[in-house]
Structure 1
């Protein structure tokens, strides 16, 4: 008889991955983890969990040459630095208006 790997219930697999059961269900529905449906209940093997974790690895950050567009604003990254503020600093409404005014002048020129 062939060896069968032990099957984990959904709550056991979630605990092993240190996520909630709801998160594990979302991962399963997105097709990011292998599962088995046995008697109407989802089961996972240790190999399924290891494979999922391996697929989640993220490579090291690599510095890019040239301007990188911001996902939030679509502006090239170098324009974001013109504000004189450090990255991650929250701007007030007054400073946002001042920066917007100066950027508009830089892009479109001063009014005549």
Structure 2
């Protein structure tokens, strides 16, 4: 596979994660700031209780993975375009940072589920 086709797939995933994040922000604004004020903003206990639902937890993990990919790929592109790092070095660094972030996030979510 050529680097051009891989780059195209990475760009497409960047666009998809951007759309996911946009929808998530709009849903958050609607739920918490528009309808939430009429019913009261959820308490900490209500949020933790909702996170114990496996579907909510999975959704949060997918959302966090999308945000992590979107941010790290954007940072990768800035570093490469500004010629601060070579592309192969930047990819490796972003991969390690992404693995660290997702490991921490999944560990944090497991702790919440076990409480």
**TM-score (norm. length: structure 2):** 0.26
Bigger fraction of residues in helix:
2
Bigger fraction of residues in strand:
1
**TM-score (norm. length: structure 1):** 0.26
